[in-house]
Amino acid sequence: MALRDYQGVSPVLGARVYVDECALVIGRVTLGDDASLWPFAVARGDVNRIEIGARTNIQDGSVLHVVHDGPSVPGGLPLIIGDDVTVGHKAMLHAARIGHRCLIGMAAVVLDGAVIEDEVVLAAGSVVPPGKRLESHGLYMGNPAKRTRELTRTEIERLLYSAAHYVKIKDSHRGV
């Protein structure tokens, strides 16, 4: 696993976590039980903290970062990702809050101070501007991301299926 301390602070891993040898986790990063980071994903918790929930998967090439404590943002902004979240390939998540049971589409960008509530699907390539809130049970798409409709019960159930599927995949990569 590619884990790196930053100024004496080490990443904290829950039980059965998988971090691909080509991924990188730096500093104040906490990964919940059964979380996974896939090839070339980077979680850089150097100037603030990153929390990744249980059974959440961060797919290939995704970048996770934070905002430092400074005059324009006192206290800075962490990146908090809930449980059972699927983050698609090449997504960029920067100093935001993402609720439980969400899907962040491939190459989506979520910017500083944005809040994505529980059970949201953010379409591939969408951009969530700084400070924007995406309300629960919605499909959002575009740049800037806009709510296009309510999620169906089946789509909400698929959010848990996706997270559970990645738990199985990471277990096979771990040799379990």
Q: Read off the pLDDT of residues 6-22 as tens digits, 9 standing for 90 and up.
A: 999 999 999 999 999 99
Residue range of the domain that includes 157: 3-174
Report the alpha-carbon distance of residue 84 to residue 123 in Å, rounded: 17
What residues pair up with 81 in beta bridges, in sequence order?
Answer: 52, 98
Check which CATH number belongs to the domain holding 20 and give it: 2.160.10.10
Burial of 120 (0-12, 13-18, 19+ CB in 10 A): buried
- Mean pLDDT, residues 56-82 taken together: 97
The pTM (predicted TM-score) of the whole model is 0.97
Domain count across the chain: 1
Q: How confident is the model at residue 37, as a pLDDT?
A: 98
Q: Read off the pLDDT of residues 49-62 as tens digits, 9 standing for 90 and up.
A: 999 999 999 999 99
Decide if 64 contacts 49 (C-beta within 8 A). no
- Mean pLDDT, residues 163-176 taken together: 95
CB neighbour list of residue 139: distance below 8 Å, 6 or more residues apart: 120, 121, 123, 147, 148, 149, 150, 151, 155
Q: Is the pLDDT of residue 176 over 90?
A: no
Q: Could you tell me which of 27, 60, 63, 20 has the C-alpha nearest to residue 42? A: 63
% the chain with pLDDT above 70: 99
Q: How confident is the model at residue 1, as a pLDDT?
A: 65
Q: Read off the pLDDT of residues 32-46 as tens digits, 9 standing for 90 and up.
A: 999 999 999 999 999
- Mean pLDDT, residues 141-158 taken together: 98
